[in-house]
Structures are given as C-alpha cells and as structure tokens.
Amino acid sequence: MRVSILQTDIIWEAKQENLRLLGEKLTALCGHTDLVVLPEMFSTGFSIDTHRLAEPVDGLTICTLRQWAEKFGFAIAGSYMAHDTFPNSDKRSYYNRAFFLTPEGEMNFCDKRHLFRMGNEPEHFECGTSRRIIRYREWNILLLVCYDLRFPVWSRNVNNEYDLLIYVANWPASRHLAWDVLLRARAIENQCYVCGVNRTGTDANNIPYKGGSVIYSPKAEVIAHIPDNHEGISTAYLDFSFLETFRERFPVWKDADRFIIP
C-alpha cells in the first residue's frame, strides 16, 4: 500500500483557504498513492473557537474531502473540529475528530482520547471513549491524534490487531525530540508501521511547528520523511509481506502484557 504524508503550514482559522490549497496538492497525487494523511485540524489550526468553526459530519470539510477521495481514488485521513447535536435539543458536544474517508465512500471517525490540558483543550472539547480499527485495502489501521502519542497503553497492539498506526498532530517545535522518539518507540513496541504527520509554520498563538512528518517501518527505519520547517509531500510503499515475516521470525507480540482500559 502506498501512503503519502502531507506536511503543510495551516492558515489560522481560514477553513476555505486551507481546503483550496489542499485541493491543489491532492490533485498532483492522483494515481500515485492509496492513502494521504493530513495534520491534525488541518483546516483551522489548533483553535478552540468551537462555536464558530466546528462542523457536523455533513459540513463543508467532510463533504469536500469525500468528493476528493472519490475523484482522486485514494483515502484521506486527518482530523477536524466537529460537533454533535443532541436529539430535540440545541445543545452541542465538540470533538477533535479524526477521520478516515475512502474512495468507495466509507466514513470512519474516532475522537481524540487524550485532550491537551496545557492548551485548554479539555475545557472546549469532549474526549473520545473508544478506538477503532479501520479496514482498508487489506490493512488494519489505527488512527490516533497528537497527544495520544504520549500514552502507549491506548495504542497497544494486542495480538497484532492492526498493521499501521497513524498519528496526526499539531506538535510544537519545543517538544520535537519527544515527537520523534515516541513515534519510533510505538513502531518498535507494536511491531507495526507508524506514520506521524505534523504541521509546520507558526500559529496565531505564536507557537512554532517544525514538522517532522515521517513513516517508520516496524523496525523503526525511516521509509519516508519531509525536511523540518518545509511544506512537502512524501510517499512510501508499505510491504505487508515484510511485516508478516518480521512478526513471524521475531514474535515479541506473543509475550506482550495485557492491559484493561476502563
């Protein structure tokens, strides 16, 4: 399976402009990839203006991405600012919601589990309560969001239930070393491919981002990356037979501890 990572600057809270720029980039990937992974909150930046920017599942962002996935023939993954409305009520719940949209029209969603308290995220969003394994092109994929990276129990790969682990992020430059070290660790401990996609540039809160978007093999070898502080796209071929052989010859997973997540 071909996976493309897309590292980009994000124009603050400019949803339509970010979508326009993304559309130009995706056009060039038509026929050259099976999955494109975007940064966390790719259309707004890491904003907490939920009342103005959050969307339902049938809003502009998801509808546009679904059209592109079908048109270009590849899946698109990332996260956006979402809201759910309670039946017979005007009350809303807000989520940092990860999405995985296939060219066949399938929609997969999961909400960020660990909200970043240092950025006041828990005051504006609800946390996710479950994780979902997505089936796509014969691969099992787990999609998580940014701060989830720091909590390895949440990503534990019990009995090889997934093959590819994806993190989408707005991970600041000041903690760039942690980003890279933890992505490598997730690949090693879970015996899977790991894809991390981060933004670049500086947001409206004057927080800089270096990027560091990368794909690691199950042995934590770099198979795709984008230079720091640059926008760009990089595509890697993920070899399922290599993964199966590695797990068979070095079956660390058989000795893994069991965890119970409440």
Check pLDDT > 70 for residue 88.
no
pLDDT, position 258: 80
Check pLDDT > 80 for residue 64.
yes
Mean of the per-residue pLDDT values for the chain? 96
pLDDT, position 86: 73
Q: Give catalytic residue positions.
A: 40, 112, 146
- Confidence bin at 128 (pLDDT 50/70/90): very high
Please name the residue ranges forming H helices in the chain: 15-27, 50-53, 60-72, 176-190, 240-249
Please tell me what DSSP assigns to residue 203: -
pLDDT digits (tens, 9 = 90+) for 171-229: 999 999 999 999 999 999 999 999 999 999 999 999 999 999 999 999 999 999 999 99
Mean pLDDT of 242-247: 98
Cβ–Cβ under 8 Å, residues 45 and 14: no
Whole-model pTM: value is 0.97
